[in-house]
Structure 1
Amino acid sequence: MFRTIALACSLAALALPASAWGKTGHRIVGEVATEYLSEPAAQAVEDILGPEGLAEASDWADYMRSNPDAFWRSEANPWHYVTIPEGMRYTETTPPEAGDAITALTKFRAIAMDEGASLEDRQLALRFIVHLVGDLQQPLHAGNGKDRGGNWVDVVFFEEMSNLHEVWDEKLIQYEELSYSEWANWLIQKITPADLGEWGKATPAQWADESAAIRDTIYPESEILSYDYAYMARPILNEQMSKGGVRLAAYLNAMFDPAPTDASGTN
């Protein structure tokens, strides 16, 4: 019976696109980032997104994957992840012709900064940036190229059928029973000036390498996941979402601030 259900879950995973962090996790990253935006960057975000803000914009790129347009169903789909085989770094790989999260981030950065581009194009670009920075902090969005970022790894999480990717996207976060604003506030209180300086200096390729290194440690020995696994995962979730918020702020500050600062606000 388990294998029959597991096969059904695997087939469903083939049909559905993978997201990262789920809605709550992405909003946590956006909310943390808002705390560390420089004034010029905050103004640029407001000019482009209006009252929408980073937390609201953060899961838009996943929401739009349900749009039947071919752009969302095929062209944009590979932009949500990178592939880094075990033992390699991102710079040692060749991005696919369709692109990946890092090549997409570079493309959308140029569009968001182009004051001659249409507001609609800049909004799309900025929403993608907010989303992709979050994606790159989720360990299974730096996939090993073998199992669709853990989508093909069937597990039971607290007696519910799932897969490893879904567990990291959503179920571990849902297990904590916190709103995105509650969790973001807790993270912000613990982020130190040293964290801001260190995390904000890393490049997108380095983010991906960090996620791939974590990825290789989180594959469970048993398909039955419960309290022990949630206990192991929580500090990883906290650090990766904290890093995501700080890095998103640093990325936007570098884009929009004429006097570049790190996420701590220092030159």
Structure 2
Amino acid sequence: MKLKALASALLFCISTQQVMAWGQTGHRVTGKLAENYLSEDAKQWVAEILPNESLAEASTYPDEMRSNPSDFWQKQAGPYHYVTVPKGKKYEETEVPKQGNAVSALESFTQTLKDPNASLEDKQLALRFAIHIIGDLHQPLHAGNGRDRGGNTFIVEFFWEDSNLHRVWDSGLLDRRKLSYTEWSDWLGKKITENQVKQWTTTDPLVYIEESIAIRDTIYPEGDRKLSWQYLYDHLPTAKKRLQMAGVRIAAYINALAPQK
């Protein structure tokens, strides 16, 4: 019975984490950081689409809606959180699956945001999802290798608790520090330099994916899968940098779309 219960718990962990990146804390950090780099026109545009809603709040919406019973959330939106790129290949060398992926979804939502005839409701969904997708693509395992569901079936032990590699990168690395998203945002935001903003500013998702693939191929533990302090020491700096980069790039994306007054 104990083995059956453990197997059920692991399957639940895998199924509930398969399309989530950074967890709520990480996504909110990217949204909060992005607000530091919005132009005045962009701030006004966002306020018109999402009145009384911060980018931090908007960033988690696509994950919070995963239990919505509508066909969109249950049958369409799942693949919009990730891309699959086998080891040794570039995204451009792969085919977009029939159900779509994060890149095709971002392109579609971008067109909605550019469409003057799109409804406010459609633009709200598009902006929330775009913010979320950019964050997702900065989590290395959301550019999955196609072999283990983005690390979900790569079972590990993280600080003496059963987990999987995807979950470690979604939330384990950050949650270990016991900080709120506002504390993370404050601490990480102060360390972003003007030169880094210039270097990181791009709205091309293929850049995010290429970077994530390069990181992805270095974060799988070899041999012992009991991860604790050394793994945290080795990889938390990378996770923090990816959050910083995502924040800058969410702002760049919004600034590029916002109408100029």
Q: TM-score, normalised by structure 1?
A: 0.92
More off after superposition, 200-209 vs 116-125: 200-209
1:173 is matched with 174
Tell me if 1:192 matches 2:193: yes
CA distance 1:95–1:2, change in 2 (3 Å): farther
The 2-side partners of 1:210 and 1:179 are apart by: 26
> How far has the Cα of 1:234 moved from its partner?
1.1
1:11 is matched with 11
Structure 2 segments unaligned to the other structure (5+ residues)? none
Q: Helix, strand or coil for the counterpart of 1:65? A: coil
The 1-side partners of 2:5 and 2:210 are apart by: 34
2:184 is matched with 183
2:79 is matched with 78
> How far has the Cα of 1:119 moved from its partner?
0.7
The 2-side partners of 1:153 and 1:116 are apart by: 45
> How far has the Cα of 1:255 moved from its partner?
0.8
The 1-side partners of 2:6 and 2:206 are apart by: 34
2:111 is matched with 110
> Is residue 14–residue 164 contact of structure 2 (8 Å, CA) maintained in 1?
no
1:48 is matched with 49
1:151 is matched with 152
Among candidates 220, 228, 234, match of residue 232 of structure 1 = 234
Structure 1 segments unaligned to the other structure (5+ residues)? 260-267
> How far has the Cα of 1:18 moved from its partner?
2.5
Tell me if 1:244 matches 2:251: no
The 2-side partners of 1:242 and 1:220 are apart by: 24
The 1-side partners of 2:120 and 2:259 are apart by: 19
> Is residue 151–residue 164 contact of structure 1 (8 Å, CA) maintained in 2?
yes
Percent identity over paired residues: 49
> How far has the Cα of 1:7 moved from its partner?
3.9
Aligned CA RMSD, in angstroms, stands at 1.8
> Is residue 81–residue 135 contact of structure 1 (8 Å, CA) maintained in 2?
yes
Q: TM-score, normalised by structure 2?
A: 0.94
> Is residue 137–residue 241 contact of structure 1 (8 Å, CA) maintained in 2?
yes
- The residue identity in structure 2 corresponding to 1:84 is V
Number of aligned residue pairs: give it: 259
Q: How far does the alpha carbon of each residue in 1:55-83 deviate from its partner, in whole angstroms, 9 at most, with x for none?
A: 00000000001112221112110000001
**Runs of 4+ residues deviating >2 angstroms:** 1-18
